[in-house]
Structure 1
Amino acid sequence: MSDILHLLIPYAASASEGCQQTLATLALPHLDRLLARLAADPARSSTAEETSFSAPHERALAQALGLPADDGRTPWAAWHRQQQGQPTDGQAWAFVAPCQWQVSTDHVTLRDPEALGLDEASSRALLAIVSPWFAEDGIHLHYEQPTRWLAESPLFADLATASLDRVLLRDVRAWMPDAARARTLHRLHSEMQMLLYTHAFNDARAERGLPVINSFWVHGAGALPATAAGPASAPSVPLALRDAALREDWRAWATAWTALDAGPVADLLRQAEQGRPVRLTLCGERAALAFHTAPRGLVQRIKARFQPTRFAQVATQL
């Protein structure tokens, strides 16, 4: 594994009006100094539509780990299983998140599974209820944690699925998997809503004041390629900005950025100042912009000193 230090920051900026207003007064001195020392790395940068299935930070992380980075086709579940020391045997796996879809006249919003109050016992009970329905279609579910199960099926081979981060608190319809390839999943969504709508499991939850669970979300599907490359560098991926950004709580997001700047960013800056090679990847909803230490000529050094790259400039591209 390379000894290059790599900091990959998801949700570094957003095109949201609230974020743009916050950025106007956000001071990140260590990040500005770090950007002034680094050179852009176009080969590791990427841009896509905000409706792409893979968020920019996931594409960048997949690239850093030597995994396929095609939109919606990084086999995160199979990779996770491998990291846990469990065999994948070349099979296709996926994550399945039990969740609640809030249906209105013009939106189908996916609530954050972490807000559902699921513990291991209730998640396993729900798994026992729905597993036979999935098994009839050749999908075998396995408990992994309260808000996330693992699923194995040939259905998940080469199936593009949208990141959970893409759909949290948003209308799921823009990120549903292709109907022709995922006809079985579309039918299971309907069946689960009918099954769970009046099920005693949800009746008991309602009595305790907990949200009902009426659906699921499949993500991270695929099989690990036999020739997958090893990681060029294993990045550090702080998630401090994620929750605030997804909820568009820009005050909390600014607070998290300030702490990040004083912590991991300042540490990376110190390493760069000591001459160690470093990488920085800043990710928004549209783009992942990569920077790295690289030899610079005299003209480049002078330009960097008097016209340094600032985060305010970079943020407009994310």
Structure 2
Amino acid sequence: MHIQLLIPGLLWPTATLLGPASGLTLDGLAGLLGRGSRSVLAFEPYDRQLARLFGLEGGPLPLAALRRSGEPDAPPPAEGDHWLCADPVNLSFAREHLLLQSFDDSQLDAEEAAELVAALNEVFTDLGQFEACTPTRWYLRLAQASKATLYPLDDVVGRPVKHFLPEGEDARLWQRTMNEAQIVLHNHPRSRAREASGLRAVNSIWLWGAGALEHAPQAPAALVQATDPLSVGLARNCGLPVAMPDVSAALRQDTLVVLDGLRLPAQALDLDAWRTGLEALERDWFAPLATALKRGRIDSLHITAPGDRATLLVANQRSERWKFWRKPYAFDDLLKSLAPAPLPLPEATPPPPPHEAR
């Protein structure tokens, strides 16, 4: 039996004075880290790593169409349709940079999302049709295919927007569209009401995910366990069953498990939520899987943890259980080893000689 865990957000993105996982009891994870083989690869976007597990790589990936096909209550996209993700975001200035922040479902409701999408549809009738599958996952069904290079939202959150503007043949169209959408959303009564209440306004959309699906995804396992719509969409497009993440079910057959509960807390630098989620992963996944490995119930367990600077790979094999000299490796120690080096302090200017002092 083979289990693959994909855990975006497991690597805390910044250095802290105290280790981000300090004080947490993570014996199961420590055992998997210490007794398995570990490697750290260069940064690669999470969505590309997920797509590769389904046999898709190279060129623009149709992430919008794939994510749209994984939405729970939406009809599947028609063959030949072209889609963009058009997710609601907040833009704000921090010093000289315009930074982007996303929303989670607890921060927007379906009614305000519907009103904001209706306002966009009144203005952009020539581009296609906007729709909101959830309060925070919006789409644009295009009247014609896009020829722009558009950056995924996860790559842009918390970063200066100027580095991720649309590129390519019709880049100006989409730059203009996002600028005009900012005006529409900024002036909307819903946005004004949010600002008056001290909440972050939905004052822009982020367009991404263009591309055509040239090859059908390939099944990475007998079962996919996931809740995020991109993973669900990939599984549906290769005819795989999809289930909620559950360790007992994963131990019955070859399974790909996508656990993305740490992704948003890591992006938002919400350390309390991240630590709470990490404790839940230890209880529900790491500890049970470490026990199953010791008992020989798993042939192999692979953990892939895409981060914003690097990707951690951990591989545990049943055949290596007897290597008793491999000791647990504390997760907080691992995070410290991956943290960026502190910036060097400027050298102090030596005081002038006594005869030059004034």
TM-score past 0.5 threshold = yes
TM alignment of 1:275-290, pairs within 5 A:
275-277=297-299, 278-290=301-313
- SS of 1:100 mapped into structure 2: strand
Kindly provide the amino acid, as one letter, of the partner of residue 309 in structure 2: R
Question: Which stretch shifts more, 225-234 or 256-265?
Answer: 225-234
Match of 1:264 in 2: 285
The equivalent position to 1:32 in structure 2, one of 5, 30, 33, is: 30
* 8 A contact 1:101–1:111 mirrored in 2: yes
- SS of 1:257 mapped into structure 2: helix
Q: Give the whole-Å Cα distance in 2 for the aligned partners of 1:188 and 1:160.
A: 14
Q: Which has the higher helix share?
A: 1
| 2:88 corresponds to 1:98 | yes
- SS of 1:230 mapped into structure 2: coil
- What percentage of aligned pairs have identical amino acids? 27
Match of 2:10 in 1: 12
* 8 A contact 2:99–2:158 mirrored in 1: yes
* 8 A contact 1:111–1:169 mirrored in 2: yes
TM alignment of 1:67-78, pairs within 5 A:
67-68=56-57, 73-78=60-65
Match of 1:125 in 2: 115
Give the RMSD, CA atoms, in angstroms.
3.4
The structure with the larger Rg is 2
Judged with a 3 Å threshold, the aligned counterparts in structure 2 of structure 1 residues 92 and 301 are, in CA distance, closer, same or farther, namely farther
| 2:257 corresponds to 1:236 | yes
Judged with a 3 Å threshold, the aligned counterparts in structure 2 of structure 1 residues 308 and 249 are, in CA distance, closer, same or farther, namely same
Kindly provide the amino acid, as one letter, of the partner of residue 82 in structure 2: A
Q: CA deviation at 1:199?
A: 4.0
Q: Give the whole-Å Cα distance in 2 for the aligned partners of 1:213 and 1:265.
A: 37
TM alignment of 1:81-92, pairs within 5 A:
81-84=68-71, 86-92=76-82
* 8 A contact 2:120–2:130 mirrored in 1: no
* 8 A contact 1:110–1:171 mirrored in 2: yes
Q: CA deviation at 1:131?
A: 1.7
Q: Give the whole-Å Cα distance in 2 for the aligned partners of 1:104 and 1:250.
A: 21
* 8 A contact 1:62–1:69 mirrored in 2: no
Q: Give the whole-Å Cα distance in 1 for the aligned partners of 2:319 and 2:298.
A: 15
Match of 2:42 in 1: 47
Judged with a 3 Å threshold, the aligned counterparts in structure 2 of structure 1 residues 291 and 197 are, in CA distance, closer, same or farther, namely closer
Match of 1:150 in 2: 139
TM alignment of 1:86-235, pairs within 5 A:
86-114=76-104, 117-136=107-126, 138-153=127-142, 154-156=144-146, 159-178=148-167, 180-206=169-195, 210-232=199-221, 234=224, 235=256
The count of aligned residue pairs is 300
Q: CA deviation at 1:296?
A: 5.2
The equivalent position to 1:305 in structure 2, one of 321, 325, 328, is: 325
Q: TM-score when scaled to structure 2? A: 0.70
Gaps of at least 5 residues in structure 1 are none
Q: Which has the higher strand share?
A: 2
Kindly provide the amino acid, as one letter, of the partner of residue 144 in structure 1: C
What per-residue deviation string (whole Å, max 9, x for no partner) do you get for residues 182-219 of structure 1? 21110012212333443445445555655433210123
Kindly provide the amino acid, as one letter, of the partner of residue 305 in structure 1: W
Q: CA deviation at 1:152?
A: 2.4
| 2:78 corresponds to 1:80 | no
* 8 A contact 2:86–2:207 mirrored in 1: yes
* 8 A contact 1:78–1:88 mirrored in 2: no
* 8 A contact 1:36–1:305 mirrored in 2: no
* 8 A contact 1:5–1:268 mirrored in 2: no
* 8 A contact 1:98–1:113 mirrored in 2: yes
- SS of 1:18 mapped into structure 2: coil
Q: TM-score when scaled to structure 1? A: 0.77
What per-residue deviation string (whole Å, max 9, x for no partner) do you get for residues 267-303 of structure 1? 2223323332322222321222333344757xx954x
Q: CA deviation at 1:107?
A: 1.7
Match of 2:19 in 1: 21
Q: CA deviation at 1:251?
A: 4.5
* 8 A contact 1:38–1:291 mirrored in 2: yes
Judged with a 3 Å threshold, the aligned counterparts in structure 2 of structure 1 residues 87 and 19 are, in CA distance, closer, same or farther, namely farther
* 8 A contact 1:46–1:287 mirrored in 2: yes
Q: CA deviation at 1:106?
A: 0.7
Kindly provide the amino acid, as one letter, of the partner of residue 113 in structure 1: F
